[in-house]
Amino acid sequence: MIFFLVISLSNMVYASPDVHVTVVTDKQIYGSDELVHIHGDLDRDGTPVTNALVAIQVNDAQNKVVSIRTRSTGTVPLPWSIDITGFFPCDQTGNPKDAFMKGTLAYFKVTVKNLDTISSRYVTVTINLYDHNQVSFGIAWVGTTVGPNREFTYLCSIPISWETSTGDAYAFANVYNKWPKENGIAYCGEEAVSFTITDGAGSPSSAGSATSQSLGSEGTYELAFRLSSKPALGDHAVYASYYEAFATTVFDVVWLFTDVNRNGKVDIADLFVIAKAFGSQSGDVGWNPKADLNSDNSVNIVDLFRVAKDFGKTRT
């Protein structure tokens, strides 16, 4: 059974008069387990900004965070208020540990410091896990206020499902003033650590070193993560944020295109969606691109027939 991810290349951009950020994806359709590539530009008065941090957040149709990362447009700037002073995988008591079995919990310890000696700062600390195949499979986060010149340590656990790939895996820690989807900004560059996921059948090898993946250049940024084998269905949102500059785009996760309403089954509700848009063409009032199953820019008997042919199928 094949899963598809449909990406909308159109994006909405909000920005201050002199700073602009964009966000796009490289393809319109992705199959399950394929890499999703996100990239964009950042400029000020038409000149590329090469020393900036763009905060990126991806939420699924259920508003669950799928990935949250910070990407550089070139040189990573020094922390301006909050710094990540420590980050490593550990056991449940905080002792360093670099290997975890599938079906268990992986623990991580991250420490952030408020570099401001006068004012307190509110922080949102996030940890995002990628497995050996770059599948983003776990998110942990906490929000708190850190006093002047004080440190805050967050010890979290993230489940490792049986579907997660074994081998070297990576964790990325970031700290924001608020969520990127709320036009939050990154206080500093992200920190990355590696660890090993095992199936318990043999002795794990030591995890290698980790980097924050590829950096952008000349005012550009990029991010890649792999889809899971069973992603959530429906519209997803990508947010890119840098100070007053903000951009977003939407993509659609599809199991079968005939599951028009993305509820995991082809039923009477899908026929109703087709019937409601029946006879419309691209640009018409009532046009629904999801009902155009054969991509001929019109909703007609062919689309209705395709839903009828798959009627009764259920996502397993």
The domain spanning residue 298 has which CATH number?
1.10.1330.10
What's residue 2's pLDDT? 47
Residue 315 forms part of a structural domain: no
Do 109 and 204 have their domain in common?
Answer: yes
In a shared domain, residues 283 and 305: yes
Do 229 and 132 belong together in one domain?
A: no
Model pLDDT, residue 198: 96
Confirm whether 84 is domain-assigned: yes
Task: Decide if 250 is inside a domain.
Answer: yes
With CA atoms as reference, report the closest residue to 114 among 65, 147, 76, 139. 147
Residue 36, token pair as written in the block: 């999703």
From the CB of residue 45, how many other CB atoms can be counted at a distance below 10 Å? 9
Number of structural domains the chain divides into:
3
Q: Is residue 167 part of a domain?
A: yes
Same domain, 52 and 87: no
**Whether 97 and 158 share a structural domain:** yes
262 lies in some domain: no
CATH number at residue 193: 2.70.50.60
Distance (Å, whole) CA 275 – CA 122? 50
CB atoms within 10 A of CB 2: 8
Any domain includes 316: no
pLDDT in tens, the chain (316 residues): 444 444 444 455 454 558 999 999 888 767 688 899 999 999 999 899 998 999 999 999 999 999 999 999 998 999 989 999 999 999 999 999 999 999 999 999 999 999 999 999 999 999 999 999 999 999 999 999 999 999 999 999 999 999 999 999 999 999 999 999 999 999 999 999 999 999 977 545 445 445 554 556 789 999 999 989 999 999 999 999 999 899 999 989 888 999 999 999 999 999 999 999 999 999 998 899 999 999 999 999 999 999 999 999 999 8
pLDDT, residue 26, reads: 86
Its domain, for residue 283, covers 268-310
Residues 82, 72: one domain?
Answer: no
**HEC states along 30-75?**
EECCCEEEEEEEEEECCEECCCCEEEEEEECCCCCEEEEEEEECCC
Is 272 inside any structural domain?
yes
Shared domain check, 57 and 9: yes
Bridge-based pairing of strands 35-44 and 234-242 is unpaired
| Residue 182 half-sphere exposure toward CB, CA atoms < 13 A | 6
The pLDDT of residue 316 is 82
32 and 18 both lie in a single domain: yes
Task: Name the nearest CA neighbour of 140 among 128, 123, 151, 154.
Answer: 128
Q: Is residue 148 part of a domain?
A: yes
Residues 174, 82, single domain; the answer is: yes
Predicted pLDDT of residue 9:
43
133 and 190 part of one domain = yes
Could you tell me if 50 and 9 lie in one domain? yes
- The rounded Cα 308 to chain-centroid distance in angstroms is 34
| Predicted local confidence at residue 202, as pLDDT | 58
Non-local CB neighbours of 165 within 8 Å, separated by 6+ positions: 131, 132, 133, 135, 197
Quick one: 304 and 235 in the same domain? no
Instruction: Give the domain CATH number at 239.
Output: 2.60.40.1930
